[in-house]
A and B are shown apart, each in its own frame.
Chain A
Amino acid sequence: MSDHTYSPAQGQSVLWMRLLLWALLILFAIWFLLPAYVVVGTSLKDLEEIRGGSLLALPHELNFSAWKHAWNEACIGVRCTGLEPYFWNSVFMALPAVFISTLLGALTGYALTKFQFRGANMIFALILFGCFVPFQVVILPMAQTLGRLGITNTVYGLILVHSVYGLAFTTLFFRNYYVTIPDELVRAATIDGAGFFTIFRRIILPLSPPIIVVSVIWQFTQIWNDFLFGASFTTGGAQPITVAMNNLVNTTTGVKQYNVDMAAALITAAPTLFVYIVAGRYFVRGLTAGSVKG
């Protein structure tokens, strides 16, 4: 809001305000960057340097050996494969789960807002409450269910779990976004002869990219970063990367290899970081477009 006019006498104080503003911005930036700096810095040092130097010191040289070690050499239990296979486990788990939960959330949000049938609000409230269920609660009954379905310890089990518990959030996002789309569009299309799915595909979906971005980023982050479900429902080779990373960090032989641990943490966080850095802009924009106005 800087389009106010100031009198010359205020010029001095404007300058001071500007300085203060930047000081605050930079201070917060340091606070936000500190952990990243520590983690990245340490991952590039060798063990000698870590023990000898200070946490905040810059690495002497860029040494990527810890990264390589974490990626495909480090031992997790008795398997010395590094994080690589688990990385792909996570990819094969996250992509379908993000897709399914986003699609179902979009369809549900669309049906609940544009076809306000009896009880639609009640159904929405019931779905929404699903956002707040602590996941520890569902582990045991979920284990039984997965067992009945015969998908224990498989990536399909995790896809199911993440799709179901992501649904509450995606429905919330899409519902709040679709509320802002005029109902008349749907009515016009109905009279034009378009059916439920045609309207969704031809009218609603083309208007949805902002909220799809929000939903995909949110879901991808949640699912990729999940530890509890991954740790409870999978073992060994089927584990997602977060669990493998935890095992790797806790698999020590004599000396704690901080640099490898840090590199492993960074490799684990890399995809979500990438998504935020590349698409963060659209995330903010998407929030403006819909979920905020709810």
Chain B
Amino acid sequence: MSRPPIPFTDRIARALPQIVVAPSFAAILFFVYGFIAWTGYISMSKSKMLPNYDFVGIRQYWRLFQMDRWSVALENLFIFGFLFIAVAIVIGCLLAVLLDQRIRAEGFIRTIYLYPMAISFIITGTAWKWIMNPSLGLETVVRGWGWESFRFGWTNDETLAVYALVMAAVWQSAGFVMALFLSALRSVDQDIIKAASLDGASPWKIYTRIILPSMRPVFMSAVVILAHLAIKSFDLVVALTGGGPGYASTLPANFMYEMTFRRNEIGVGAASAMVMLATVAAIMVPYLYSELRGKKHV
């Protein structure tokens, strides 16, 4: 009694999951990791106007970190990233809790909060640029009402421009965070809430002590999604402040674009891209590791 050989079609059938994943994975390997590797190499080359493969070591990184514009961009990324994520989560969370109070017209209000997500950063930036324009926008209107000292021309102030970016970005993303939190609130076990209110906990306590802590995974998802938006922010800067005044509100993505395409400094551009990627990896790799480790199959 010998084992029959496995039929060819069976072997194919068994390998189907891998076969199906293969093209997608290959595409990602090539278009993400291949390109990252390419950029990594270029960052150590003396590329100027066009890619060039002469190796120069870490010279481009050395130049990068001497550039004022880069330190401003990097600093802005940390300010912008931190504030954007924190404020969007606080407001998103607040809106979710407010909307969770069984109010009338919830669907309508939710749509109002969510719609900015549908709009491109280019349009968001342009619209807020008009509103923040001191002579055209809100500032004149409010001053016209008699509040003479009102200031809203953030985009025109080099110290405030980066906060203008934060505000517009939060405006766009807070609704999405709200949607995430709202859906999580809705899936909290109602029995726990009943038990807590029988124990005499106030609604405020119930939220802060029981419901919100139970939404840690959502919180993490929100942080990850917002972090990716922050790192990738490019269009918003272009449309809202143009990186200005001067280059006071420029972000790394804009820096990279400027160097690569405008200044014939592809090497420095690539180096800045690698630093950005390293920043992302520093945040994401531990997160992915902890997320996926817990879910290994038995």
Q: Which positions in A face B, CB cutoff 8 Å?
A: 1-4, 21-22, 24-25, 28-29, 31-36, 38-39, 42, 54-56, 104-105, 107-108, 111-112, 114-117, 120-121, 123-142, 145, 164-165, 167-168, 171, 179, 195-197, 221, 224-228, 242, 245-246, 249, 258, 261, 265, 268-269, 272-273, 275-277, 280-281, 283-285, 287-288, 291-294
Contacts and interface: CB of A to CB of B under 8 A. Distances in A.
Contacts, number: 263
Contact of B24 (A116, A165, A167, A196): A167
Contact of B17 (A125, A196, A272): A196
Nearest to A111: B17
A22 B82 CA distance: 29
Contacts of A276: 111, 114-115, 117-118
Interface stretch (B54-62, B64-72, B129-137, B154-162): B129-137
A284 B94 CA distance: 17
Interface in B92-151: 94-95, 98-103, 107, 109-124, 126-128, 130-131, 136-138, 140-141, 144
A142 B122 CA distance: 23
Given A127-B25, A132-B284, A292-B221, A55 B136 contact: yes
Contacts of A226: 120
B44 to A, nearest CB: 15
B81 to A, nearest CB: 13
Given A121-B296, A265-B126, A294 B20 contact: no
Interface string B231-265: 11011000000000000000011001100100000
A134 B25 CA distance: 19
A294 B273 contact: no
13 contacts: A3-B194, A21-B103, A35-B128, A104-B24, A111-B16, A111-B18, A112-B21, A127-B24, A196-B17, A249-B126, A284-B110, A292-B218, A292-B221
A196 B21 contact: no
Chain A at the B interface: mostly helix, strand, loop or mixed?
Answer: helix
B208 interface: no
A35 B194 CA distance: 41
B35 A141 contact: yes
Contacts of B180: 287, 292
